[in-house]
Structure 1
Amino acid sequence: MKKIIKLLALVLVLIILYFGFTTYPKLDLISGFSAKSIASGHFLDNRSKELIEKTDNDINLIDLAANTIDEAGKFATSNVYGLKERKAIYREGLGATLINDDFDVSKPYLVPKRTKLENNLSFPYGNNEPTDTVFSNIDYSKLKKAIDNAFDRLGGKSKRTRAVVVLYKNKLIAEKYDINFNKDSRILGWSMTKSITSSAFGVLAKQGKIDINKPAPIAEWQKDERKKITINDLLHMNSGLEWEENYNTICDATKMLFLAADMGKVQLDKPAQFKPNTHWNYSSGTTNLLSLILKRQFKTQQEYLDFWYSALIDKIGMNSMIVEQDMSGTFIGSSYAWATPRDWSKFGLLYLNKGNWNGDQILDESWIKYTSAPTNTSEGRYGAQFWLNAAGKFPDVPRDMFYCNGFQGQMVAIIPSLDMVIVRMGLKEDPAFDFNGFLKGIIGSVKN
């Protein structure tokens, strides 16, 4: 009997040691991810805690978190076995922010001044319902089959598509939503937000207020080799700065998103590993540094907040979009833009039409060419905060396709040669979700 007790005690000790070495260091990140996900999903999209836990948070380790929502206080808290509790607060106009114990929740805060598109036009150029349009060269039964095939049957979890929207020749030709979602559902774009950040630079460049080919205006870099890094290098993800982005472990990216108070400074403080424009390295920290650079272009916080919306987001009627902030008041330009699938498709349409929005040239045509041209260090995979099909990642899709891409398979695909925008929002990414087959099916419904 004593041997059995000793054996059980040993097993218990081993379990505790295993937990201590493998899971305990991740608890801050687990509860941080969970609290932020619960607060954003609930207060921005009215999802229940149970739905968020069952869908958004059903990720290995994240599903260990226990969560609560305080409706009156507008915040969510999460912990793992009572350890490492984290809190995310919701503020109208700003979305949810993951905070630490030093954050003053009583401090007054600024919100962006928003304008709603009121032009009495139908979607996509207005917010009225789309007009019925039938194209003789589209096989609608084939189109429907391709889209239906992207969704699970009731109860399935192999494809996990939440929404598909297809625009052709500036018209909505198809859309579909999974159960619990509809045309008014805000869905997180994750790294598709990077393309929004890039576009903000495009607007400033068009206004002649910034030169992306000049060294990045960062005072902290002026006494070392980083002073040679240009905004262009940052936009192309080839600055040469140290960065690790691996969401399967504790890395620079996860520590930034779930621990940092000032996310832009995380990449700013990193040393140079290589000379600029010699090594491509995907970095969410770089995009948040770009957001911080944008912030420093304005005299006041209010001007910075307003610019993203007045110059771009609200200008093309993406009125559902909310870009969330870190604790320092900087937009998390790498990851946290929420919008309806229809509004995500409007963003794609802006790029499809070479920066022109219903007669208003918001971005120079040259900016569209710039963002969709391969950076020399990415082997044809990446432009300026946009992904590319130039190297044929999707073999059955035109090589001129460029696209916004986000964690768990968010995509806004822009295909100039077909005059088409395809949006897919979901919880499975390539290769678990067959994006090549999905895009091929939709494209195949259009007869040349």
Structure 2
Amino acid sequence: MIHRNRMYLVLPVLLLSACGTTVTTSQPTVPPQIADPTPTFFATSLPEPTLPPCQQPEFPTATIRPTKQPEPQTKVEAWPASSPEEQGMDPSRLAGLLEAIQSGDRNIHGVLVARHGTLVLEAYFPPFDRETPHNMYSCTKSVTSAAIGLCMRDELIDSLNIPVYTYFPDVQLDNESRKAITIYHLLTMSSGLEWSEPLRSGLNDNWYIFDSDNPAEYFLSRPTVTVPGRLFNYNTGGSHLLSMIVQEEAGEPAADLVEREIFTPLGISRYEWIEDTSGHTMGGTGLALTPA
């Protein structure tokens, strides 16, 4: 997805992976010069990878949920493009940017540059291209939070102070601290529950919650560390519960709501979003989008 800005905008398409801490209170196929006075695009013509990054088996029991509709229902105007010179930019500086990227192992899959709302550079690095979905990893959390906002807009959720346990009556809670966890605490990652997600570790709580037949029970049964609202602790599980709450209130998976209310109006016609074993949209990770 491309954001417009009147200032210089550089959008490197990265393989993102957010990791949290607890706190208190490849060679690109591009020409060396940018001299074409017409709209400047550099794109590889290599075939798509056999297994795009978004389909790597991070969660072996999860399923890929592809886009339901191939084209947006609303016509969205294409982003205008021009040469860098037309926008007052030095093409040699952009060429230097590409050279710097290819000179080191930076794990950058693509770069888009725009100025004055006009695209002046679009470059991809093999085996990636503009049609390759990229796993957004923890950027998924922002989209899930937006889905909560949609529910509030539609008065499906009337307050962020609603206790989370009320959405999961089958989960038995043994203390008042767990009962005090609200939607707000999930949004701010301040549930007060013990949660650990070290990358590439079997001790990562994410492996267990996404493979659980009852993700809410797993989350709410974690040991209590402090009262809700006092401590920030990065927590992908809480974001997944937000997706489950959206499905409960909207009567449809979070992915369906987001596709209709956000993706389609923005002209996003292709995405993939992983579901857990219970059929809930992954709330904290697993969304894959194309870069343009």
Q: Could you state the TM-score of these two structures normalised by the residue count of structure 2?
A: 0.69
Classify 1:251/1:335 alpha carbon distance in 2 versus 1 (closer, same or farther; 3 Å): same
Find the aligned partners of 1:76 and 1:227 in 2 and give their Cα distance.
36
Where in structure 2 are there 5+ consecutive unaligned residues? 1-46
Query: 1:311, CA displacement in angstroms?
Result: 1.3
| Structural mapping, 1:281-300, within 5 Å | 281-299=233-251
| Structural mapping, 1:308-319, within 5 Å | 308-319=258-269
Deviation per CA, 1:34-84: give whole Å up to 9, x if none. Answer: xxxxxxxxxxx95226xx7xxx69xxxxxxxxxxxxxxxxx9999xxxxxx
Find the aligned partners of 2:159 and 2:70 in 1 and give their Cα distance.
27
Please tell me whether residue 143 in structure 1 is matched to residue 94 in structure 2.
Answer: yes
Find the aligned partners of 2:110 and 2:138 in 1 and give their Cα distance.
17
What is the aligned partner in structure 2 of residue 241 from structure 1? 193
- SS of 1:243's equivalent in the other structure is coil
What is the aligned partner in structure 2 of residue 322 from structure 1? 272
What is the aligned partner in structure 2 of residue 197 from structure 1? 144
The one-letter code of the counterpart of 1:311 is: E
Check whether the contact 1:215–1:227 (CA below 8 A) recurs between aligned residues.
Answer: no
Query: 1:306, CA displacement in angstroms?
Result: 2.2
Deviation per CA, 1:191-244: give whole Å up to 9, x if none. Answer: 111111111112222333324531334224596222222212211111211101
The one of 105, 115, 123 equivalent to 1:176 is 123
Q: Among all aligned residue pairs of Structure 1 and Structure 2, give the percentage whose two residues are the same amino acid.
A: 22
Answer 1 or 2: which has greater helix percent.
1
Check whether the contact 1:218–1:293 (CA below 8 A) recurs between aligned residues.
Answer: no
What is the aligned partner in structure 2 of residue 119 from structure 1? 75
- SS of 2:123's equivalent in the other structure is strand
Higher relative contact order (CA 8 A, sep 6+): 2
Find the aligned partners of 1:87 and 1:245 in 2 and give their Cα distance.
17
Please tell me whether residue 164 in structure 1 is matched to residue 111 in structure 2.
Answer: yes
Find the aligned partners of 2:267 and 2:226 in 1 and give their Cα distance.
41
Find the aligned partners of 2:98 and 2:118 in 1 and give their Cα distance.
17
- SS of 1:324's equivalent in the other structure is strand
Find the aligned partners of 2:62 and 2:178 in 1 and give their Cα distance.
36
| Structural mapping, 1:210-359, within 5 Å | 210-219=157-166, 220=171, 224-256=176-208, 259-299=211-251, 301=252, 304-342=254-292
Classify 1:246/1:202 alpha carbon distance in 2 versus 1 (closer, same or farther; 3 Å): same
The one-letter code of the counterpart of 1:190 is: Y
Classify 1:253/1:77 alpha carbon distance in 2 versus 1 (closer, same or farther; 3 Å): closer
Please tell me whether residue 48 in structure 1 is matched to residue 4 in structure 2.
Answer: no
- SS of 1:183's equivalent in the other structure is coil
The one-letter code of the counterpart of 2:146 is: S
Check whether the contact 1:76–1:89 (CA below 8 A) recurs between aligned residues.
Answer: no
Deviation per CA, 1:270-325: give whole Å up to 9, x if none. Answer: 243111221110011111111111121133x4x65521210112221221112110
Classify 1:260/1:90 alpha carbon distance in 2 versus 1 (closer, same or farther; 3 Å): closer
Find the aligned partners of 2:83 and 2:209 in 1 and give their Cα distance.
43
What is the aligned partner in structure 2 of residue 41 from structure 1? none
- SS of 1:191's equivalent in the other structure is helix
Check whether the contact 1:264–1:291 (CA below 8 A) recurs between aligned residues.
Answer: no
Classify 1:141/1:261 alpha carbon distance in 2 versus 1 (closer, same or farther; 3 Å): farther
- SS of 2:120's equivalent in the other structure is strand
Find the aligned partners of 1:89 and 1:203 in 2 and give their Cα distance.
26
Number of aligned residue pairs: 240
Query: 1:160, CA displacement in angstroms?
Result: 2.1
Classify 1:167/1:328 alpha carbon distance in 2 versus 1 (closer, same or farther; 3 Å): farther
Between structure 1 and structure 2, the one with the greater Rg is: 1
Classify 1:316/1:236 alpha carbon distance in 2 versus 1 (closer, same or farther; 3 Å): same
Check whether the contact 1:197–1:290 (CA below 8 A) recurs between aligned residues.
Answer: yes
Q: CA RMSD in A?
A: 3.4
Find the aligned partners of 2:69 and 2:219 in 1 and give their Cα distance.
29
Query: 1:254, CA displacement in angstroms?
Result: 4.3
Query: 1:262, CA displacement in angstroms?
Result: 4.5
Query: 1:336, CA displacement in angstroms?
Result: 0.3
Classify 1:315/1:266 alpha carbon distance in 2 versus 1 (closer, same or farther; 3 Å): farther
Query: 1:261, CA displacement in angstroms?
Result: 4.1
Query: 1:167, CA displacement in angstroms?
Result: 3.8
Check whether the contact 1:321–1:337 (CA below 8 A) recurs between aligned residues.
Answer: yes
